[in-house]
Amino acid sequence: MGLRELILAAIALLAVYVGYQLYRASRAPRMSAPGPDGTPAEAPALAEIVVAESDDDDEPGPLYGRERPAPAPAGTDTAPDAFQHELEVRQLRRELEQQGSALADLKRELDEVREQLRAHKEQADAGLVTRGASPEYNEALVFARRGLAAEAIAERCGITVAEAELVQSLARSQGGESGNAQ
């Protein structure tokens, strides 16, 4: 017997099995018409595969056990659309969770961007202070831009009054005022 005959035998066996399953499916109980109160009458449920418990562990129980009706809570909608609606609700909940996590990610990114913007702004402000001045006079230049007197600047920064006056003059010249010291 060759490979070709084995394949044809397997196909024939599979066709017989499919035919048997179709026959069983056609004989399965169907849903009955609605009852007098408008609710669907319970159709007998298909037998479930249950291994019956037996006293003897040696003997396996029957493959097909007792029929168990599907539990249907009283007052619930058992229409065919109920299953579809439940699926839609679950899908919408999943999408809502995804949107929530995406929103949380965006909020976190926005906070990071705000922090970076604040840092850049501080660097830009510091850059204005250091432009045209020696780094050791940065603090004095900040005080001069705020309008402190030369004596107060000299006292706070540990420089001479003459240096503080020069820093004030530099601050005025950068601010667009005249270079005349008073």
Question: pLDDT tens across 158-182, in order?
Answer: 899 999 999 999 888 887 654 444 4
pLDDT of residue 51: 41
pLDDT of residue 121: 86
pTM: 0.30
Mean pLDDT of 120-130: 70
pLDDT of residue 132: 58
Q: Is the pLDDT of residue 96 over 90?
A: yes
Class of residue 167 by CB neighbours under 10 A (exposed 0-12, middle 13-18, buried 19+): buried
pLDDT of residue 131: 57
Q: Is the pLDDT of residue 32 over 80?
A: no
Compute how many other C-beta atoms are within 10 angstroms of the C-beta atom of residue 142.
Answer: 18
Instruction: Give the start-to-end residue ranges of the domains of the chain.
Output: 86-131, 134-182
pLDDT of residue 3: 86
Say how far apart CA 145 and CA 172 lie, in whole Å. 8
Over pLDDT 90: what percentage of the chain?
36
Say how far apart CA 88 and CA 82 lie, in whole Å. 10
Q: Greater confidence, 101 or 35?
A: 101
Residues 6+ apart with CB under 8 A from 68: 45, 48
Q: Is the pLDDT of residue 73 over 70?
A: no
